[in-house]
Amino acid sequence: MSTSGRGVHPSAHRAPVEGRRLVRSAWICVAVLPVSFVAAMVLGEALLGLQGHDSGSESPIPIGVVLLAGIPAVLVLVAPTVPAIWFGFRARLLGAPSGLVPAAIGATVLGFGLLMNTLPVLFGR
């Protein structure tokens, strides 16, 4: 049996390279998370202000106003987590086991972000 690699299909060597590329993409998505957090905060405050409410006021804010400001802000917050999860798990399937780390970080931030922004609306009234 020859080890020269003459009988190996060219796409057999591509999987590790693609896996490393996907791991890099997943880490880029994780690195964008702080930016998306700040953008979500600014967007939520701006949407509340455009509707004539202040987030620091003592008067209760109607649920419709909260949803109109909160849903876009939460979507901006969790937007980088979905590709981080997808790229990470895809990289793992292509032979880069280190893709699991950014996928797990993305899944954790996604779950925590959804819970922390949904529970106060459901049980805070």
Contact (Cβ atoms closer than 8 angstroms) between residue 22 and residue 84: no
* pLDDT grade for 16, boundaries at 50, 70 and 90: confident
Q: What b/e string do you get for 65-77 counting C-beta neighbours within 10 Å, with b at 16 or more? A: ebeebbeebbebb
Q: How far apart are CA 79 and CA 37, in angstroms?
A: 10
Question: What band does 52 get if pLDDT is binned at 50, 70 and 90?
Answer: confident
Domain ranges in the chain?
Answer: 19-123
Q: Is the pLDDT of residue 29 over 70?
A: yes
**Contacts of 29 by beta carbon, 8 Å cutoff, 6+ apart:** 80, 81, 83, 84, 87, 102, 106
pLDDT of residue 124: 73
Q: pTM for the full model?
A: 0.79
Least confident of 23-37, 43-57, 79-93, 100-114: 43-57
Neighbour count for residue 14 (Cβ, 10 Å): 12
DSSP string, 32-49: THHHHHHHHHHHHHHHHH
What is the mean pLDDT of the segment spanning 51-58?
A: 80
Provide the pLDDT for residue 104.
Answer: 97
